[in-house]
Structures are given as C-alpha cells and as structure tokens.
Amino acid sequence: MKFLVVYAHPVPTSFTHAVFETVTRVLAEKGHEMRVVDLYAEGFQPVLSRADREAYLEDTDQLISQVPEHIDNLKWAEGLIFVFPTWYHGPPAILKGWFERVWLPGVTFHPADKAGKTPASCIRNIRRLVVITTSGSPAWMMFAIGNPCKRFFMRALRMLFNLRCKSTWMQLYEMNVIDDAKRRKFLARVERKVARL
C-alpha cells in the first residue's frame, strides 16, 4: 500500500519523533511504499495569507502552484498516517496550516454548489487513515470536552475519503507525567498496529 506519513513536531529528540521513527521503520519492514512529509524540517509555511484567501475559490491554480509536491503526495497516496502532539486540543499550527494551504478546492474537495449540500470529495483514493498523537490531558478530560482533535480527523476529514476507508486513532494521554514504561508500551502498541496495516 502507498502511505503518506505526515509528521509535525519541532524537536527531533521528542517522544513524538520516536513514534514517527517507529511508524516509518515498520512500514519499510513490511514493504509498503512510503512518502514522508516532515513539516518542521522542511520549513513548511502554514500561514494562509490575505491574498491566498482572496484567491481561494476564484484562482485556486495560483494556490496549487505554491504546494505542488504536497498535492502530488495526496493524489499518490492510498493511506494517510499523521504523527503529531495534541496542543491546546488540536494539532500543531503548522499541521493545521498544512490542511488550509494544501487541502484546496479542486484538490481534496469541490465546494457545495448550493445551501444544504456538502462538499464533494476529490480524494476517494484514501482507503486507510491512521492518526497517532500524544496529549498532556487525561483521557477523562478529553472525553468530557468531546476530544475536538479526534473529531476533526475521524469525522470531518474521514468524510472525504473512500467510503470503505478504515480509520485508527491512537492517543497517549498524560504525556508529561507518565513514566517511560508507559511510553514504551505505547510504542509497542504503535508497532503492532502499523505492522497490521
């Protein structure tokens, strides 16, 4: 299977980076094709400028020309794997900005043509979604507030993919206070999940 791995963490010694390394190692061992996007390492510019926003629906080609490799990756992929920390109940700003600048009209969706309609998907090629994240909050708190990050990935994005797309959400809670044994256990769980893709 062809996987696009999107990684977003600025610190190469972080636990999230260890998760990323586990994911890419296991994908390679299992013989999957893989492309990797390391948003911080490449210095991805996440800000949608005023000019970009004004061109968003009227001159999408101009926006597409700014991120052609990212768009090619999306069209190539059959599966998406996201690895990032949850900060303030959502993905890092650089990853949120990646969605705003790359998931453009005509690339990932066609805007609704009238009220009451939903956007039409352009990326039904995605048959597998895996999201792996960490957070400082306990699981009960994330449940109490509805885990907005999970809802964004597992509901909003998932709607655009193949109707039979399988999705997996993995979240390590209380990242800042757990011990290394729990971190190792999570890494082992990640390894098992990715090995079964």
The reported pLDDT for the residue numbered 20 is: 99
The reported pLDDT for the residue numbered 41 is: 98
Which residues in the chain show pLDDT less than 70?
A: none
The reported pLDDT for the residue numbered 34 is: 98
Supply the DSSP string of the chain, one letter for each residue. Answer: -EEEEEE--S-TTSHHHHHHHHHHHHHHHTT-EEEEEETTTTT------HHHHHHTTT-HHHHHTTSHHHHHHHHH-SEEEEEEE-BTTB--HHHHHHHHHHS-BTTTEE--SSTTPPPEES-TT--EEEEEEE-SS-HHHHHHTT-HHHHIIIIIIGGGS-TT-EEEEEEE-STTTS-HHHHHHHHHHHHHHHHT-
2-195 falls under which CATH superfamily? Flavodoxin domain (3.40.50.360)
pTM above 0.85, yes or no: yes
pLDDT digits (tens, 9 = 90+) for 96-139: 999 999 999 999 999 988 999 988 999 999 999 999 999 998 88
The reported pLDDT for the residue numbered 70 is: 98
Percent share of the chain, pLDDT over 90: 88
